[in-house]
Structure 1
Amino acid sequence: MAVNVVVNDEVREVDPGSKAWQLFAETPDVIAARIDGDLRDLSTELADGQRIEPISMESPDGLDILRHSAAHVMAQAVQELFPDAKLGIGPPITDGFYYDFDVDEPFTPDDLATIESRMKKIVKEGQKFSRREISDDDARVELADEPYKLELIGLKSNAAPGELQSAAEGAGVEVGEGGLSIYDNLKRDGSLAWKDLCRGPHLPTTKRIPAFTLMRSAAAYWRGDEKNKQLQRIYGTAWPSKEAQAEYLHRIEEAQRRDHRRLGNELDLFSFPDEIGSGLPVFHPKGGVIKRAMEDYVRQRHIEEGFEYVGTPHIAKEELFHTSGHLPYYGDGMFPALDVDGQDYRLKAMNCPMHNLIYRARQRSYRDLPLRLFEFGSVYRDEKSGVIHGLTRVRGFAQDDSHSYVTPEQAADEIRHLLNFMLSLLRDFGLDDYFLELSTRDDSKDKFIGSAEDWEVATQVLADVAAETGIELVPDPGGAAYYGPKISVQARDAIGRTWQMGTVQYDFNQPSVDRFNLEYVAADGSRQQPVMIHSAKFGSIERFLGVLVEHYAGAFPPWLAPVQAVGIPVAERHVDYLRTLGQRLKGAGIRFEVDDSDERMQKKIRNAQTHKVPFMLIVGDHDVENDAVSFRYRNGEQENGIPVGEAVTRILESIATRAQV
C-alpha cells in the first residue's frame, strides 16, 4: 500500500519503506529534511501523512547541520590521533563549530594542522553518518570510557530540557527530549570508523562537507563552570563552498585589522590598566576628545527633542532595587552589596529607579506629560570575566539613558518619536544600515512580571509602531526585559557585522502601585498610572565608541577625529608660520597640531596617516609667500596652493556637515 506524504504543500505518493532522500534525489543541495516540524536525516523512513520540508545547506538549519557534522569529523580525527582524548560537547555555533576534549596537554598549532589533515582524509573517504536509537542504560555501557558523555546522560535523566541546556551549554546537540541516539561513522565497507552520542541530524556522508578549516584552540571549563575541570576546545569553521569560506576568512582578517582594542592602543585612545580592574576602561586625552564630542552632540540633541537633563548618584540603598524589581530578576548582574553605616547599598546597574523617584518628587498632571528625563548615567554591572571584551562589554559604563513618562494614549506617539530620534542619531554617526528586533515575553519562563493582558497591549503598541517605519522587523521571542517588551535597533557596520544599538522598552510594571506607585492627575481629576518608556540611543557611550572605532577602522570623520588637522612644515623655518595658522584654526574651533619633530617631511605625512588625521596642511616657502597651504587628505589626495581662508572653510564645512571624509 502506497504512503502519502506532503512535500512543500504538495501530496506525494511513495512506496512503503521509502527514505526521505528518495524525495530529493534530483535536488543535490538538499542535505536533510524537516519532518512534522523536527529536523531529521535524509535516511529517515517515511510514514503516511507526514509533512516534509527540504533543508538545503545554505539555509540556517543547513549550515548548522554542516558545521555539526564537521565537528564530529574533527572529534573523530582527534581521537584517531590522540587515542586517550575524552569527548566533551561539540555544537555548531555562529559561523562555525567547536568541540571540547579532555587531553593531557594543550593542543599546539602543529597539532591543529595535523588534525585538519586527518579530517580531510576522513572527508575524502565519504564515511556515512548512520543514526541508531539506544536506551540510557545501553548508552552507559557503550560509552563507559567517555565520562563526560556519561555525565550528560545522567543530567538528561534528572533534568527538564531547558534545565539541561542551562546546565551544559551545547548539550542540546547531544541529549534532550525523548530517547538517546548514537551516530556511527561507517566506512564504505560498512565497518565502524567512529561513533558519538548525538541527537543529529547530520549530512548523509562526510564527503558532503565542501570546505572547512580549524581556527584556534583555547581552554574551556567543562559545562562552563570554573569549578569543573578545564578542557581544551578547538574552534573551526565550515561553509557550503570554498568561495564562501574564503570570503568569511577575509572578513575575519578585516575584523582583526579593525579590532578596537588594537586601534585604541595604536591611536592612544583608551586602555585597561590592571591596577583598576578588568572591564573598567580609562580614556586618554585623544579618546576623551571623541567621547566628549559624542556626549556633547547627543546631550544637545536630547534637549532639542524635549528631554530635560537630570543627574543621579552611582549608589543607592539596596531596597530601591527591590522596589524596582531589579534585584529579584537581575541581581546576578549587579555587584554585591556595600555596607554603609550598617545598611546595604548597591552600585547602580541602571538609572530608571532613580528617575522614578524624580518623577514622584511632586504631583504630576496630564498637562506635564510626556515628561522626558535624560542623563549620562554611570552604571556598573558584574559581567563575568569570560565575556568582557574591550569597550563593547565592560563592567563600568555611561548610558545615554532616558525615560519618558506618558499617558497610555501617548505611548505609541512617544515610541514613534524615540525611534525616529534614535535612527537619526545613528545616521549622523555614519551607521545607516539597520533593522529592528522586537523582543517579547516567553510564557514558558518565569522571569517576566505583570499580567498577560498588559504584555499583549504593550507588545502590540511596539509592533504597530515598528511596522509603520517600513524597516525590516525581526522577532526575538523571550528576549524582553522582565518588566516589558522592547524594540532594539540592530545596525550593520562597514564589514556587515550586526551590533545592537539603541533600545526602546515599554514598561507598565515599575510605575504600578506595587512598585513606585507613580501617578498623574487626569483631565477628569482622577489619579492614573503613567506608562514608562525606557530608551538608550547608544546603549552605552563606551560600547558605541568601540563600534565606531571598528566601523571606521580608526579613521573617524572630521567632526569626531581627535586631531582634525595637522600642520607639516617642509623645513624648520616654516614652523612659526604654522603656529600662527594654528592660532587661527583653534580660534575657529578646529583641533589642530603642528608636527615640529625632527622627522623628515615624508615621515611626518606617514605619521599623520597612521594616526588617521583627516587633513594635513603642508607648508613650504611658496606657501608662506602666498598665505597658502598644500591641502592633503588622509587618502593621499593633495591640492597645492590653497589659500588659508579656503582651507579653514573646507575643514569647518566638513565638521559642520559631519562629512565622511
Structure 2
Amino acid sequence: MNELEKLRHSAAHVLATALLELWPDAQLAAGPPVEGGFYYDVELDHRISPQDFPAIEERMQRIIAERQPFKRIEISREEARKLGFKGRLGALSERKVPSRYKLDILESIPDNEPITLYQNGPFIDLCAGPHVEDTGMIKGFKLTHVASAYYKGDEKNPQLQRIYGTAFYTKEELEDYLNQLDQAKKRDHRKIGKELELFLIDEKIGAGLPLWLPKGAVIRRELQNFLTDELLKRGYQLVYTPHIGQLDLFRTSGHYPYYRDSQFPPILDPEELKTFESKNMSCAELANRLEKGEVEGYLLKPMNCPMHIRIFDSKPRSYRDLPIRIAEFGTVYRFEKSGELSGLTRVRGFTQDDAHIFCMESQVEGELLSCLELVKVVVQKMGLLDTKVRLGLRGEDKEKYVGNPESWKKAEEDLRKAAAQSGFDFVEEPGEAAFYGPKVDFLVKDAIGRSWQLGTVQLDYNLPSRFSLSYVGEDGHPHLPVIIHRAPFGSLERFLAILIEHFEGHFPFWLAPEQVRIIPVSDAFVNYGEKIKEILQQNHFRVNLDRKNETLGAKIRVAQLEKVPYMLIVGKKEEQMSRVSVRSAKKGNIGEMQLDHFISLITAENKERRL
C-alpha cells in the first residue's frame, strides 16, 4: 500500500467514525482504499443521499481537527470474537449492538494471520492497516457519491450502502482532483455515447451486452481496419472461431476452472440432457457430474486462446513454418457481477483484438519486441502518448498458476528484457501474471490525466505443454513451441470507451461516424448539395445533407453538437462558382475552395489517419 492509499484508508476510518456518531445503529462492513479514493460499506435503515454529505463531512472535519492517533492493537482471535459479540468491532467503544459483518470478516481471516485492530478516538475497527500517524494528516477530503453493493459482491448477501470519497495530503491536490472529476463527468462515454447514438445497452437483451448502433459500428470498423492493416504488414493470418466450445477444451487450457467464477455456467450436451431427463436426475446432480467431467458440456468462450491453439495443432508444423501468427477480432464472455458492470468499460460480452504467435525459443525476443512496437504504433496513432508498462510476475500463491518454476523464471526474464529494450517505462508487480505466464500490461493517460489499462502481451511456456503441441525441428525431432498472447487494444468495447472520453466525442476525421455535413443556406440549394454529396460518397467519405427547414445558424449549431468534423456551406455564390465554403469543428471557418481541393485535403487526412 503506497502513502496515498494509506491516507485514504485512514480517511475511510474517519468516515466510519462520523457515520456511527450520526447513526449509532449502523452496521459497518468494510472500508478499503480504491483507485481514486476510498469507500465504506454500511447497513443502515436511513437511506443516505448526497444531501447527507455536508453533515457527515462536518463530523469528519471535527475528527480530523482532533488529530486522533491511529493505534494498532494485536489481540487473540477469541478476544476479537468477544469484542464482536459485544458490538465493539467496527463500532464506537460504548456500543452494545453485535457487529455481525465484522464477526463474519473475522472468521474469514486465515488461522496463521495475526488479528489486529486499529483505534482512532472512540472508534475501534477490525483492520490489517496500515494507517497514517493521526487523523490530522488528512488535509483535503470530499465525499463523492453513494451506491448500492452486495456484501462481499455476492447477490445472495444483503445489499449495503457504499459511500465513496477521496482524500489527499493537501487541499490543492484535492482541488485538482475535483476539477478532473468535473471534466470526467463531461466526458463520460455513457453520456456521450447516448448523445451521439454510438451504442446501446438494452436490459431486454441483457446487462453488460452492448449493441453497436450504426455510428458506433463505423468507429469499431475503422479501428479494426486500422489494426488489420498493421497486422497484415507484420505477417499475421486472420481467422474466425466460434463463440462456444466443448468444456474439455477449456479444462485442458486451464481457463476452466481458473476463471470459473467469472464465466457463464457450462451448458449440458442436449443429447445427454435427454438421457438424464428420462432418469429424473436433479439439476444439482447434473451440475455436479458436469463439473467432474463425467458428462459432456459446452462453454461460452472466456478466451480465444484454445481455439487458436487447435488451429495451430490441426496439421504438422515444421521449424520452417514458424513463427505462425494467428489473429482474430473474437468475442468472448465473462459473467461479471451486476454491480461491477459499467457502460463499455466493464461488460459481459466483448471483442478482443486477439492474436497468438507460435514460435521457437530463438524467435521469442524478436517477436516480443515486434508486439511491443505494435502497441507503440497504436497508442501514438490515438494520441495516447503517456504510456507506461506494468510487468506482471508470478505471485506467492502457487495454486493460481500452472507450470514449473524453471519455465516461469525463463519467461519472466525474457519479458523483462524485452520491456527494457522497448523504451517504455516499466514497473514490476508480483502477483499480476496470467495463470499460464508473465505479462506486460499497458497503462495510458488520457487527455485529463486519468490512467487506463489497455492492451497486453503475455509470454507462455506452459499451454504448449498442456496441449501437447509440437513442431519438427531442424534436427528432425519434435519440439515444444512457445506461445505469445497479444492484444494491443485489449477489448474494442473498453478501448472505444477510453477514446470517447479522451476525444470527448470529437473523433479524428478518419474515425468520425459522419465526416462531412453539407448545409444548404436554403431549400433552393438542396439540389447542389445533393450533387456534392454524391461526389463525396463516390470518393468513399461518410457524408450527410441537412435538409431541415431551419436557419443556417441553427444547422451549424446542430452539426457542432453532433461533433461532425467538417461542414460544407452551400448557397448561391458557391453554386455559381462550383465551390464550397468549408467550416471545421476544430478551426472554425476555413473559407471557400474548389470541391476538388477540399477532397484532396480530406483524402490525405483520411489516408494518414491524422489526429
TM-score (norm. length: structure 1): 0.83
Corresponding position: 1:446 with 2:396: no
The residue number in structure 1 matching 2:230 is 301
Change (3 A) 1:605 1:337: same
By how many angstroms is 1:558 displaced?
0.2
SS of match in other structure, 2:31: coil
Corresponding position: 1:651 with 2:602: yes
The residue number in structure 2 matching 1:428 is 381
Corresponding position: 1:263 with 2:214: no
Counterpart code for 2:547:
D
Corresponding position: 1:112 with 2:53: yes
The residue number in structure 2 matching 1:83 is 24
CA contact (8 A) 1:348 1:380 kept: yes
Corresponding position: 1:100 with 2:29: no
By how many angstroms is 1:153 displaced?
5.2
Change (3 A) 1:373 1:64: closer
Counterpart code for 2:40:
Y
**Match for residue 529 of structure 1 among 480, 484, 493:** 480
* Number of equivalenced pairs: 578
Corresponding position: 1:274 with 2:203: yes
Which piece of structure 1 moves more, 613-622 or 117-126? 117-126
**Match for residue 422 of structure 2 among 445, 453, 469:** 469
The residue number in structure 2 matching 1:188 is none
Corresponding position: 1:403 with 2:356: yes
- Using the alignment, how far apart are the partners of 2:464 and 2:130 within structure 1? 48
SS of match in other structure, 1:446: helix
Post-superposition Cα deviations, 1:571-597, rounded to whole Å, max 9, x if no partner, equal: 111111111011111111111111111
Post-superposition Cα deviations, 1:293-343, rounded to whole Å, max 9, x if no partner, equal: 111222222111101112211211111111222213222232222233324
The residue number in structure 2 matching 1:457 is 410
Which piece of structure 1 moves more, 471-480 or 134-143? 134-143
The residue number in structure 2 matching 1:519 is 470
CA contact (8 A) 2:87 2:98 kept: no
The residue number in structure 1 matching 2:433 is 480
Counterpart code for 2:168:
W
SS of match in other structure, 1:335: coil
Change (3 A) 1:517 1:194: closer
By how many angstroms is 1:141 displaced?
4.2
The residue number in structure 1 matching 2:110 is 160
CA contact (8 A) 2:28 2:102 kept: no
By how many angstroms is 1:433 displaced?
1.9
**Match for residue 628 of structure 1 among 557, 571, 579:** 579
- Using the alignment, how far apart are the partners of 2:87 and 2:2 within structure 1? 32
Post-superposition Cα deviations, 1:4-24, rounded to whole Å, max 9, x if no partner, equal: xxxxxxxxxxxxxxxxxxxxx
The residue number in structure 1 matching 2:558 is 607
Post-superposition Cα deviations, 1:618-656, rounded to whole Å, max 9, x if no partner, equal: 112211121222111113521222222221122112212
Post-superposition Cα deviations, 1:605-626, rounded to whole Å, max 9, x if no partner, equal: 1111111111111112211121
- Using the alignment, how far apart are the partners of 1:411 and 1:485 within structure 2? 14
Which piece of structure 1 moves more, 93-102 or 449-458? 93-102
The residue number in structure 2 matching 1:145 is 87
The residue number in structure 2 matching 1:341 is 271
**Match for residue 242 of structure 2 among 304, 310, 313:** 313
Counterpart code for 2:386:
D
By how many angstroms is 1:556 displaced?
0.4
CA contact (8 A) 1:567 1:593 kept: yes
**Match for residue 589 of structure 2 among 619, 638, 655:** 638
Which piece of structure 1 moves more, 282-291 or 197-206? 197-206
By how many angstroms is 1:202 displaced?
3.7
Counterpart code for 2:302:
A
- Using the alignment, how far apart are the partners of 1:158 and 1:108 within structure 2? 31
- Using the alignment, how far apart are the partners of 2:326 and 2:98 within structure 1? 52
SS of match in other structure, 1:97: strand
By how many angstroms is 1:491 displaced?
1.8
CA contact (8 A) 2:74 2:114 kept: no
Post-superposition Cα deviations, 1:161-193, rounded to whole Å, max 9, x if no partner, equal: 7xxxxxxxxxxxxxx9324334141xxxxxxx5
Change (3 A) 1:656 1:354: same
SS of match in other structure, 2:490: coil
Change (3 A) 1:520 1:231: same
CA contact (8 A) 1:376 1:400 kept: yes
Change (3 A) 1:104 1:313: same
The residue number in structure 2 matching 1:360 is 313
Corresponding position: 1:592 with 2:534: no
By how many angstroms is 1:545 displaced?
1.3
5 Å-filtered alignment, 1:383-422, equals: 383-422=336-375
SS of match in other structure, 1:511: helix
SS of match in other structure, 1:293: helix
- Using the alignment, how far apart are the partners of 2:117 and 2:212 within structure 1? 53
Counterpart code for 2:363:
Q
- Using the alignment, how far apart are the partners of 2:523 and 2:606 within structure 1? 30
Change (3 A) 1:194 1:462: closer
The residue number in structure 1 matching 2:276 is none
CA contact (8 A) 1:559 1:654 kept: yes
- Using the alignment, how far apart are the partners of 2:234 and 2:254 within structure 1? 29
Post-superposition Cα deviations, 1:200-223, rounded to whole Å, max 9, x if no partner, equal: 444444333211111122222233
Corresponding position: 1:437 with 2:390: yes
Structure number with the higher helix fraction is: 2
CA contact (8 A) 1:136 1:153 kept: no
Higher relative contact order (CA 8 A, sep 6+): 2
CA contact (8 A) 1:136 1:180 kept: no
Counterpart code for 1:413:
G
5+ unaligned residues in a row in structure 2: which ranges?
89-96, 273-295
**Match for residue 173 of structure 2 among 220, 241, 244:** 244
**Match for residue 508 of structure 1 among 461, 472, 475:** 461
- Using the alignment, how far apart are the partners of 2:124 and 2:265 within structure 1? 46
Change (3 A) 1:612 1:99: same
Counterpart code for 1:470:
G
By how many angstroms is 1:246 displaced?
0.9
CA contact (8 A) 2:381 2:610 kept: no
Alignment root-mean-square deviation, CA: 2.1
Which piece of structure 1 moves more, 282-291 or 204-213? 204-213
- Using the alignment, how far apart are the partners of 1:298 and 1:184 within structure 2? 54
SS of match in other structure, 1:219: strand
- Using the alignment, how far apart are the partners of 1:321 and 1:98 within structure 2? 37
Change (3 A) 1:614 1:67: same
SS of match in other structure, 2:463: coil
Counterpart code for 1:341:
E
Change (3 A) 1:327 1:405: same
Change (3 A) 1:244 1:282: same
CA contact (8 A) 1:183 1:198 kept: no
Change (3 A) 1:130 1:490: closer
TM-score (norm. length: structure 2): 0.90
**Match for residue 255 of structure 2 among 316, 326, 332:** 326
- Using the alignment, how far apart are the partners of 1:471 and 1:496 within structure 2? 18
Counterpart code for 1:353:
P
